[in-house]
Amino acid sequence: MQRDRDAELHTCFRRSYDANLKHHHAWLVRQVVAGGSHAKFDNELTTWLAGLEAIVLRLKAFLAQGSYGEV
């Protein structure tokens, strides 16, 4: 934004994301930033969240069984 004072904020954000963060993000995050299909995003997000929930439940059970504390 400092180099191109006439650029809009979303343009600056997109340039910064592409240059600095894009290569660190998985397909799912890139689709959100790129404005991908909402239906496809919802399906992918649902699948991802279900997997995350399974991981969290396993970790919580492990911590409880070992008396390591609670999350």
Rounded CA-CA distance 60/71 in Å is 6
- The answer to whether the CB of 20 falls within 8 A of the CB of 4 is no
Rounded CA-CA distance 60/9 in Å is 41
pLDDT in tens, 7-64: 777 787 778 878 877 777 777 676 776 766 777 777 888 898 999 999 999 999 999 9
Domain ranges of the chain: 1-35, 37-71
Q: Which residues, 6+ apart, have CB-to-CB distance to 12 below 8 Å? A: 1, 4
Whether residue 1 has pLDDT greater than 60: no
Answer with the residue of higher pLDDT: 71 or 46: 46
pTM surpassing 0.75? no
Rounded CA-CA distance 24/29 in Å is 10
The predicted pLDDT at position 16 comes to: 82
